[in-house]
Amino acid sequence: MLLDAVLSNREGSAARNFILSAIWWSILGMGAGMLGGLEFSMPDLIHNIPQLSFPHLRMWHVNAVAIGWLSMGYVGAMYYMVPSLAKTKLWSERLGNFTMWAWNAVMVGAFCTLINGSTEGREYAELGAVLDVLVAIALVTIAANVYMTVVNRKVKKLYVSLWYFLGALFWFPLVYIIGQRTFVALPGLNDAIVGWFYGHNILGMWFTTVGVGMMYYLLPRLTNAPLYSHGLSMLGFWGIALFYAPTGTHHILQSPVPEWLKAIAVISSVFLLVPVLTVLTNFFMTMKGKWQQVVTDMPLRFAVTSCMFYLVTCTQGPFQATRWVNWYLHFTQWVVGHAHLALLGTFSFILTSAIYYGLPRITGRDWHSQGLIRAHYWLKFLGFLLMMLSLTIAGLIQSAGWAFGVPVDQWGLQIRPYWGLRAVSGVMIVLGQCIFAYNAFKSLYTPAAKAADAKTAEVKA
């Protein structure tokens, strides 16, 4: 039947489709990032093709990895985690699949518009009006689906992951609608204030909250250990809810926006150390006595790596947001490294862990190759470390250049080796992601597995 083919009602199909779409967009998104990185080293690599000039690749890269890879992957992960935590089925698989199509339509639209330079010209909010509305609709339907699943739950108590998921699905649609400024034209600096409220809260109220919720879900399951403390996890949740949202203005600390707004942003940024440290204490105490499992359990290794990067990124963040450090580091590649540490190091790793853990349980098919998982881990991990190192060093050189009044032409030459290293790291990461996609494809679509499909389809988490 056509309806079943397009909007499948099969259990777990929405989660599976979201995850597979996420993997697809991750390759296009990270690939664009890699190409952009190569252009820093070889500026004349691509000539006269406007679609592949760096600014267009950069727009597409950010939107593809944030809205495509991470967000779609997050929704896919929530679609299997929430029912499993609520001990019930997803409220509506059909609605879930509808959202999946809507979101993929957004991504196709984003691809066609952004690489042609059709943009609203607002960083992180580049998508045009039609796509904005579509994303908003998709977010609201996802929220409805998840909220209704939780309402129909078979257990009384809400596990902390659900707090995070439900919180994120309440906050993020609002943040998105406010932050896109689709139908308004605010005066310059007010535009910047709202823009950075959005730019920072897509991270704080969506990537962090859902990502940390996934860590809370995965770590106890992967280690077969109970969560160390429920009270501590609640403290972390409320800390994020209180201190994350007002931090946006720390992105424009040295522009002529009101000082009181900057003060609020800096203070809440520093206070963010509180939820971060409570969350990580909880994780590391849960891991106590289980660390050796990291050697053999690949999803756990991804998850623990993600927690380690979370520690680094969230100590870096408050440090950079203070005025004097920001004075020195702002405008440089250090910040780009920090952004990659959060989105690639932390949240991409936890999402990968969730996919490695979840996909076999949704589809009933084991991973095609454990060796490829290891290859993926090492390529992505080492590639990322190389990227972080090169961007941080490049950033420090740039900072010194700005602080001591060295002209751009001069420090520009000094950071060329680091652009080169960054390009190499990009190639490694994209290669890792391609291996991941190949592994997923082989696991799901090999003929041998197809024969066993009927029997294993019932196996679930």
Partner 1 sequence: MNGYRLGAIGIVITFFTIITATVLLPMVLFNPVPSGHGNKYVKSDVVNPARGRQIYVREGCFYCHTQFTRLQDRGYGPLVKAGDYVWETPHQLGTARTGPDLTNEGGRFPSEWQKAHLINPRAVKPGSIMPSFSHLSNRDMNDLVGYIQTLGNQRTVHAYVEAPAEYEQVYLPRKTVDTNSDAAANAGRGIYTQNCAACHGLEGEGNGPNSISLEKKPANFTRAFYKQYPDAFWFYRVSEGVAGTRMPRFNEILTEEERWYLVAYLKSLPQNQEIVIDKLDQLNKVGQVHLPKLTEQEWEPHSGGN
Q: Distance between CA atoms of 441 and 418, rounded to whole angstroms?
A: 35
Query: Which one, 146 or 192, has the nearer CB to partner 1?
Result: 192
Q: Distance between CA atoms of 142 and 173, rounded to whole angstroms?
A: 10
Q: Minimum distance between the CB of residue 335 and partner 1, rounded to whole angstroms?
A: 7
Q: Minimum distance between the CB of residue 119 and partner 1, rounded to whole angstroms?
A: 7
Query: Which one, 23 or 65, has the nearer CB to partner 1?
Result: 65
Q: Minimum distance between the CB of residue 127 and partner 1, rounded to whole angstroms?
A: 13
Q: Minimum distance between the CB of residue 181 and partner 1, rounded to whole angstroms?
A: 8
Q: Distance between CA atoms of 36 and 41, rounded to whole angstroms?
A: 9
Cα 31 to Cα 34, 345, 417, 422, distances in angstroms: 5, 17, 21, 13
* Token pair for 209: 């909250």
Buried b (16+ CB within 10 A) or exposed e, 131-169: bbbbbbbbbebbbebbbebbeebeeeeebbbbbbbbbbb
Query: Which one, 22 or 115, has the nearer CB to partner 1?
Result: 115
Query: Which one, 164 or 377, has the nearer CB to partner 1?
Result: 164
Query: Which one, 56 or 380, has the nearer CB to partner 1?
Result: 56
Q: Minimum distance between the CB of residue 110 and partner 1, rounded to whole angstroms?
A: 14
Q: Minimum distance between the CB of residue 419 and partner 1, rounded to whole angstroms?
A: 7
CB atoms within 10 A of CB 281: 15
Query: Which one, 265 or 373, has the nearer CB to partner 1?
Result: 265
Buried b (16+ CB within 10 A) or exposed e, 84-105: bbbebebbbbbbbbbbbebbbe
Query: Which one, 252 or 373, has the nearer CB to partner 1?
Result: 252
Let me know: does 340 contact 389? Beta carbons within 8 Å.
no
Q: Minimum distance between the CB of residue 103 and partner 1, rounded to whole angstroms?
A: 24
Q: Distance between CA atoms of 448 and 451, rounded to whole angstroms?
A: 5
Buried b (16+ CB within 10 A) or exposed e, 218-228: bbbbbbebebb
